[in-house]
Structure 1
Amino acid sequence: MEDFVQDFVAETVEALGALDNDLLRLEVGAAEPDLVPRIFRAVHTIKGTCGFLGLNRLRRVAHSAENVLDAIRKDRLAAGTEVVTAILGAIDVLKAITDHLGATGSEGEGDDEALINRLDALHEGASATPAPPPPPAATLSAEEAALAAAWDATPAHIPIPEPVPAPAPAPAPILAPAAVPAPRAEARPVAAGEGAAQSIRVNLDLLETLMTSVSELVLTRNQLLQLSRNSRDNSFAGPLQRLNHVVSELQENVMKTRMQPVGNAWSKLPRIVRDLARDLDKKIEMRMTGAETELDRQVLEMIRDPLTHMVRNSCDHGLERPAERVAAGKDETGIIALHASHEGGHIVMTLSDDGRGLNLVRIRQKAVERGLATEAEVAAMGDNQVAQFIFRSGFSTAAAVTDVSGRGVGMDVVRTNVERIGGTIELSTKPGKGSVFTIKIPLTLAIVSALIVDCAGQRYAVPQISVTEMVQAGEGGERRIERIRDTPVLRLRDRLLPLVPLRSVLGLPRGEPGKEGSLVIVTRVGAYEFGIVVDSAQDTEEIVVKPVAPLLKEIGVYSGNTILGDGSVCMIVDPNGILARAGRLDTSAGGDGVQAAAGAEGLHGSERVALLLVRAGLGMPKAIPLDLVARLEEIAVDEIHELGGRMLTKYRGKLMPLIAADHGVAFEPGTRKPVLVFAEGENSMGLVVDTIDDIVESDINVELRSGRPEAIGSALVGGRPVELLNASHFVGETAGTWFSPPSVARRPRGRRVLMVDDSPFFRGLVGPIIRSCGLEVLATGSAEEALARLEAGERADLVVTDIEMPGMDGYELCRTLKRDPRWAHLPVIGLSGHAGAEDVERGMAAGFARHLPKLARDDISRAIGEVLQPETCA
């Protein structure tokens, strides 16, 4: 009898699981002719089988619910909210009793009289004929006996003495949820000539054992294949090839037994939304698409609770009450949309609502109150970065604790559960428009395809589902690794790709110069794409994932380990952990873009300069020295405001002025624009462009001077014409003299600087830096011209000179000045593309007051302020 009960529990769980959604469709009046009969049959079958098994408590509740459904079926009772709520209450009780029955073998104690009386009252109010009393446990009607016999009519069961006609075959069952003890196998016969597929119920423990055995078989297969590759004996090649094929096929089929539609994890959500809408006095519609998308049962179970919590949050926090929605110009019914799809070995689920969005002001306040960030740090964050605080443990903005939420428990568990299975969760929100959660999870956790890479002589596995492509970088050519300040980047087609050297993240020893870190594994984590720099890639391999040792969990960069074909242990790196550990991007920031400090370590020649090529408007490409740019940002057009004819945006807790690099730059709502940020100290301004094209290093020769103040002129860069932007013009237009150091900005005007540089391009760049310090500039193109103008009586308080020049260079010019008593008092600042220790020492020996890199704007301004003390200037 125990086997019968367990079989009954499994089938009843399946039947009850489908009833919630059917009843919700009934409540909204879905036009499905078979809907009411289908619900009635399910409850009727449960009642009949309960009588056969002597489950009186279940039978009484099911009988009362069946009477109400019968009244609905015969059009004597309307399926309104009150009626459906009562039936749903009965379904809940049936579920609870069934769960207890499966776990303990008994129905358990409970008082169901209030529910039964409520159901009976609904039935009696619909019909003058009183409801027939439930049959006694010992007596079965002919119909109930037939149902019980049909349910039990399998070779594995003890046959029932009464011969009865069998009803129509039931739908093929799915695997029982993990919470229900799995019953023994049950074969279902199919009549000859029927096209229906046979199904079998298998114990879940047996499936797990089978999966483990297949995993070990895959490891053994890999080891044999490795031995075969290293052996000269080819006699095993044929059998191994066949074994490889069979193992792969077996692995695929076993994996299929674990796959279930993601809709199984969604089945309870419509009911949850319906009940919460009633409790919260809201109108909510749940829309679900992609429920047929399949994934591993283990992953399905782990994603069920996070989804439930997120839906409850959307109902409680996200969606407004009808009156609020109407006042905001929305439909009074809020929408929660859930969608699933396959994407490159992942399942991507998006949960969105069209509600009020997160209360970012309150989140900022709470973050500061709890010490998670300072006021300055919070003010500098973008909206999506601030939103990530809701994933912190114990974080809640609710004014009061309710039955639904407010305890600060949940969203941190959501993120933890998602990341535990190798997934990612992203959040974006827009005040007044709603929020969108995007969850990306692997299809399975047991066996994955991985890329085996080498770094510092050690092998690591990178899950292939995270790998977008591989790029071989070099010292020169188009695919060379550049540096924007301290961040290495790779120019990959139409974007700059930030790089994370695996050696640095793992603390591995540096390799020989020119022999390390040339292969870039382009990896995507959520919305972020970056490159992991390794030495080489060896092979791709199916690996069996073993959990990471507790000792290594705190490191945060490993998701597990595996055994390779040669028997060695290999660590599986976690791209999420690498990204967070490297500190290049904050993985909880949620889509605010890459913030890379722009600059170069030095120029490689007197007139070679690293240029940032951009496009702005419809004219030719534009260029600006990379060293002048402090940061590259992306700013939403919707976050740009206009005040007094000037564009402003909130940036790092302050208002930052913006100016377009060209009048043709488009500002379309809903888009994001690249911004070149110029900064000094706490001040910054932004130059808005359409796209960032490239970083190049080139000789600069201005061939056509520009008549416009915003451009220095045109030059050939890499064989193509570009327009050289005058950064100082844009700074002056937007921010006045705020670049000037205070000690210099207060200095009276009238002092003059003799600037010497044979390049018009650099004269056009350095001159404005000097002028921003409140000084006049006397520009010359050679050392000889500079001396001639001094001989002619031109007055100068400071000389700023290039060092590498044709004819007399900067060193010789300085020595000449220091030897002549008339000009020996003049301080000289030397500028060079080379500013290493030896260069500085040579400059000091020649008499320079300072030896600085070209285009080091802050250093030049600071040096001028230090050199031109009041007492040194007449």
Structure 2
Amino acid sequence: MLPRHAPAGMAMDDLLADFLTETHEGLTALDSALLRLERTPDDQPTLSEVFRLVHTIKGTCGFLGLARLEAVAHAAENVLGRYRDGSLPVTPAGISLILSSLDRIKAIVAGLEAAGAEPAGDDAPLIEALNAAAEGRSTPAAAPAAAPAAAPQAEAPAPAAAPPAEAPVAAAPDVPAAAAEATGGIAAPLTIRVAVDVLEDLMTLVSELVLTRNQLLQLARGHHSDAFAVPLQRLSHITSDLQEGVMKTRMQPIGNAWSKLPRLVRDLSIELGKKIELDMRGAQTELDRQVLELIRDPLTHMVRNSGDHGLETPEQRRAAGKPETGRILLNAYHEGGHIIIEVGDDGRGLPVERIRAKALANGLATEAELAQMHEREVLRFIFAPGFSTAQQVTSVSGRGVGMDVVKTNIEKIGGTVELSSKEGRGTTFTIKIPLTLAIVSALIVEAGGERFALPQIGVVELVRVAAGGANPGVSAGGANATAGAGGQDGGPRIERIKDAPVLRLRDRLLPLVSLAGLLRLPAPERQAEGFVAVMQVGGQAFGIILDRVFDTEEIVVKPVAPILRHVTMFSGNTILGDGSVIMILDPNGIGRAAGVGADAAGEDARRTATTAGGMRSDASASLLLFRAGDETPKAVPLGLVARLEDIPADRIEMSGATPVVQYRGALMPLIPVSPGWMRPDGAARQAVLVFTENDRAMGLMVDEILDVIDERLDIQPGSGRAGFIGSAVISGRVTEVLDTAWWLAQGGEDWFRTARSAAAGKSRPRLLMVEDSAFFRHLVVPALSAAGYEVMAVDGPAAALRLREEGHVFDAVVSDIEMPDMDGIAFAKAVRAGGAWEAMPLIALSSRAEPADVARGREAGFTDYVAKYDREALLQSLQDCLSASVAA
């Protein structure tokens, strides 16, 4: 049972653990302070400190409903109160009595820690003695502190000297572990508080150590000295571990930045006459304290805007067929090296036409320009300074300040903010920010003869372009991708439209910015090849033309010198391994300075190809081509690959018979595609395709990365070879297509449930897949396509129901269960409630496949329930459901 007044959503164990930590710290300080007070009875500061500490313990006890502790602390506080106001002199007998009460508190706390509840005991004699002392009467002898009944072996800790003020220590008492374990004890976490300045100094020293490490590695690469290779590699690993450890000391839960929002939403609800529910998810997601402080105000403003602008009044919501209570969602999670924060509401959405009219009235765009803009571009006018669609100014909003400041502050820390909105359904802002501002991963690039650092957080892919804008080589998908070598005819090429360079990349024209030209650097001599870094900044995409790309390096961010702060294309500077000082590029500033944005026509084309935010098996697919084992090319959907890594051979270790590598604070299994793989020797390097989903990662070792191309994936089922779903003709060559699910299962992680045997269907019906995870969409669609199905995948029930409203017809639907906004159970009920899809087979695909889950799914209307990802069982289920549907 939660204590009275306990914060909603907080477990009793968490509250008690925090209480124990704070109480042990206070008791340790009290022992020393009371002895000091006994020596100098007139020491008013010490007396005030003692009173405050006992008062804090008493107040916390009352909050948690710990009646016995509260009674003892309250009686001791009465005596100290008389000492503090001078109405009672401090005497050795009185100090002894207070120390006795502290011993009793320690004994009760020890019992609480061992059993999870206050032990039984009689404190009446001690309380009577304390009350008598407070009233100035003669004090009877206080009973000694008894050991708690619940844990007779527990002993109160001996008094300890107070730690230094700048680093107070909180430690658990000497309670044996067995007593605490005896399924309900609450152990106080062992913690030490360190001043922030000390942590900042440590971070600075680690940053300098990283720079020195980089310099040593650079020297070693230049001299090729084998004698230094092993110790330098060891130094590199230790430095990385130390860096990670120090970074953890700076990390704080993002919930600390949300702590004031429930009260803000409550007050806003009363002020605006609205019913508002605040749903906070991922509060334990950690990020750097410095970043936390910088996003606190933007998040507050966005939540305030959602409540004022976004949510309707109860009357308006009833009229729109919505619940009276509006909902604001705060969600945070890790993705790669950054944090994703979503701030959304289920309110009225942004008024596109009103924004368009306001932009015209404010002179932000002409009528012709607005007519050509995509809806998403129009919505981004809300980030313009002085822009507001509020019809009246209130104490909350309407003055046209706020969202521009939000965007500016987020971009200052290397982040981006995107928005999506649907009138009548709500608005969601998606913020992407780096985990830390101190050390970041960056590409070292060159333009105009100068080197720069380009933060990887904004790099979507890297394209190699030959002279004359001809053939590019590899581009690697994912938020932090890097490129390999190679190239094939018919790839993207640089073109010109009215003297403006653009890159025809897959289904869109991408505007390009010459970094050398933007920074007025001397144009390089014509060279055989160059690179384009494809950047995503908010809702805009553009390419930066580069002369060379060197390598990925972890860089220490130093602030920009005051003389260069007016140059908005730079976000800082750093020192490379060779001692060179280079500038760190700011993609946001480059985009603003160049005035480029995503091509609307290309965006429309992409939307057509991926209806409702999903993907289709009969549309062209981005494929990563590679070679492994033999000369036959192999392919995997690019959307599945999180990163391409080129790992030094000496970093590959063995865990039993499995090769592994230390990757981002964990051991990542490496699975060789070649059956006869042997660990490379010497200075060799291993190409690895990295697959990630949530906190899981697996690396697929290949011989050589060939290319990335866009081509329709028409898979012919293979001969049943394990690990491959079939073959396809890609770029004129027979190419084997990997069964990624099979390879993921070899990594030892429980990515999917155990597979069952079944035969694949032979027909080609149309399927709709509803799955919020892009990873699983890219995983399942090729497998179902290879089995003979025509598949369309969408990212959620809302998109699926829109397809029903638009008249799309499918033979069956495969749906995930656990999805945001509307889950699979609600989706099934909506489908079965009536309409064109009412009788269509529905198959649930979920990681939760216990009997109770299956029963719940069938009750909601699912025809069948399959464990995720049991490919063979899914194919069998589809065959059975479709056969039954035809027979009916």
TM-score by length of 2: 0.50
Matches within 5 A, 1:465-476: 465-474=457-466, 475-476=470-471
Find the structure with the greater CA-based Rg.
Answer: 1
Give the Cα separation in 1 of the matches to 2:17 and 2:271: 28
Give the Cα separation in 2 of the matches to 1:527 and 1:337: 21
Displacement after TM superposition at 1:491 (Å): 4.7
Aligned residue type for 1:507: R
2:580 paired with 1:568: yes
**1:43 touches 1:65 (CA, 8 Å); kept in 2?**
no
**Aligned with 1:634 (options 596, 604, 624):** 604
Matches within 5 A, 1:248-287: 248-287=240-279
2:492 paired with 1:509: no
2:352 paired with 1:344: no
Displacement after TM superposition at 1:207 (Å): 0.3
Give the Cα separation in 2 of the matches to 1:189 and 1:42: 7
Displacement after TM superposition at 1:384 (Å): 3.2
Q: What 5-or-longer segments of structure 1 have no aligned partner? A: 1-17, 75-130, 154-160, 170-180, 586-592, 596-630, 638-664, 674-692, 697-717, 721-874
Aligned twin of 2:171: 188
**2:571 touches 2:586 (CA, 8 Å); kept in 1?**
yes
SS class of match (2:544): strand
**Aligned with 1:439 (options 407, 416, 431):** 431
Give the Cα separation in 2 of the matches to 1:467 and 1:351: 24
Aligned twin of 1:556: 568
Aligned twin of 1:322: 314
2:217 paired with 1:219: no
Give the Cα separation in 1 of the matches to 2:375 and 2:7: 40
Give the Cα separation in 2 of the matches to 1:246 and 1:370: 57
**2:441 touches 2:554 (CA, 8 Å); kept in 1?**
yes
Give the Cα separation in 2 of the matches to 1:493 and 1:395: 35
Taking structure 1 as reference, are residues 19 and 247 closer, same or farther at Cα in structure 2, changes over 3 Å only?
farther
Displacement after TM superposition at 1:324 (Å): 0.8
Taking structure 1 as reference, are residues 364 and 426 closer, same or farther at Cα in structure 2, changes over 3 Å only?
same
Aligned twin of 2:536: 524
Give the Cα separation in 1 of the matches to 2:245 and 2:574: 22
Aligned twin of 1:332: 324
Aligned twin of 2:559: 547
**1:523 touches 1:531 (CA, 8 Å); kept in 2?**
yes
Taking structure 1 as reference, are residues 224 and 494 closer, same or farther at Cα in structure 2, changes over 3 Å only?
same
Aligned residue type for 1:205: D
**2:534 touches 2:544 (CA, 8 Å); kept in 1?**
yes
**1:19 touches 1:39 (CA, 8 Å); kept in 2?**
no
Displacement after TM superposition at 1:572 (Å): 1.0
Q: Percent identity?
A: 53
2:513 paired with 1:500: yes
**Aligned with 2:599 (options 594, 601, 626):** 594
Aligned residue type for 1:188: A
**1:364 touches 1:378 (CA, 8 Å); kept in 2?**
yes
Aligned twin of 1:749: none
What does the per-residue CA deviation read over 1:183-224, in whole Å, with 9 as the maximum and x for residues that have no partner? 424151464536865321111110000000111111122222
**2:338 touches 2:433 (CA, 8 Å); kept in 1?**
yes
Aligned twin of 1:626: none
Give the Cα separation in 1 of the matches to 2:397 and 2:240: 47
Displacement after TM superposition at 1:163 (Å): 7.6
**Aligned with 2:545 (options 511, 526, 533):** 533
Aligned twin of 2:745: none
Give the Cα separation in 2 of the matches to 1:292 and 1:579: 33
Displacement after TM superposition at 1:401 (Å): 4.2
Aligned residue type for 1:513: R
Displacement after TM superposition at 1:315 (Å): 1.1
**Aligned with 2:417 (options 422, 425, 428):** 425
What does the per-residue CA deviation read over 1:263-322, in whole Å, with 9 as the maximum and x for residues that have no partner? 222232223222322232211111122222221111112111211111111111111111
Aligned residue type for 1:573: L
Matches within 5 A, 1:662-677: none
Aligned twin of 1:89: none
**2:166 touches 2:194 (CA, 8 Å); kept in 1?**
yes
**1:20 touches 1:268 (CA, 8 Å); kept in 2?**
no
Taking structure 1 as reference, are residues 496 and 694 closer, same or farther at Cα in structure 2, changes over 3 Å only?
farther
Give the Cα separation in 2 of the matches to 1:52 and 1:418: 47
Taking structure 1 as reference, are residues 384 and 493 closer, same or farther at Cα in structure 2, changes over 3 Å only?
closer
TM-score by length of 1: 0.50
**1:21 touches 1:267 (CA, 8 Å); kept in 2?**
no
2:463 paired with 1:450: no
Give the Cα separation in 1 of the matches to 2:710 and 2:52: 76
Aligned twin of 2:495: 483
**2:4 touches 2:64 (CA, 8 Å); kept in 1?**
no
Give the Cα separation in 2 of the matches to 1:509 and 1:54: 67
Give the Cα separation in 2 of the matches to 1:321 and 1:336: 14
Give the Cα separation in 2 of the matches to 1:376 and 1:214: 54
Displacement after TM superposition at 1:51 (Å): 12
Taking structure 1 as reference, are residues 143 and 315 closer, same or farther at Cα in structure 2, changes over 3 Å only?
farther
Give the Cα separation in 2 of the matches to 1:20 and 1:594: 57
Displacement after TM superposition at 1:434 (Å): 1.2
Displacement after TM superposition at 1:407 (Å): 3.7
**2:169 touches 2:192 (CA, 8 Å); kept in 1?**
yes
Aligned twin of 1:310: 302
Give the Cα separation in 1 of the matches to 2:376 and 2:143: 68
Aligned residue type for 1:634: D
**1:43 touches 1:66 (CA, 8 Å); kept in 2?**
no
Aligned twin of 1:288: 280
**1:425 touches 1:439 (CA, 8 Å); kept in 2?**
yes
Taking structure 1 as reference, are residues 524 and 374 closer, same or farther at Cα in structure 2, changes over 3 Å only?
closer
Q: What 5-or-longer segments of structure 2 have no aligned partner? A: 31-44, 69-73, 84-96, 111-141, 152-163, 182-186, 472-488, 617-707, 712-730, 734-888
2:590 paired with 1:578: yes
Aligned residue type for 2:344: S
Taking structure 1 as reference, are residues 207 and 425 closer, same or farther at Cα in structure 2, changes over 3 Å only?
same
Give the Cα separation in 2 of the matches to 1:38 and 1:253: 24
Displacement after TM superposition at 1:473 (Å): 1.9
Give the Cα separation in 2 of the matches to 1:559 and 1:267: 30
**1:51 touches 1:59 (CA, 8 Å); kept in 2?**
no
Tell me the number of residue pairs that the alignment of Structure 1 and Structure 2 aligns.
513
Give the Cα separation in 2 of the matches to 1:273 and 1:303: 18
Displacement after TM superposition at 1:61 (Å): 11
Give the Cα separation in 2 of the matches to 1:550 and 1:185: 38
Give the Cα separation in 2 of the matches to 1:385 and 1:286: 29
Displacement after TM superposition at 1:400 (Å): 4.4
Taking structure 1 as reference, are residues 329 and 543 closer, same or farther at Cα in structure 2, changes over 3 Å only?
same
Give the Cα separation in 1 of the matches to 2:445 and 2:382: 36
**2:3 touches 2:65 (CA, 8 Å); kept in 1?**
no
Give the Cα separation in 2 of the matches to 1:527 and 1:443: 21
SS class of match (1:634): helix
Give the Cα separation in 2 of the matches to 1:447 and 1:506: 25
CA RMSD of aligned residues (A): 4.9
Taking structure 1 as reference, are residues 38 and 346 closer, same or farther at Cα in structure 2, changes over 3 Å only?
closer
Give the Cα separation in 1 of the matches to 2:346 and 2:3: 28
Aligned twin of 2:232: 240
Give the Cα separation in 1 of the matches to 2:104 and 2:361: 64
Aligned residue type for 1:448: V
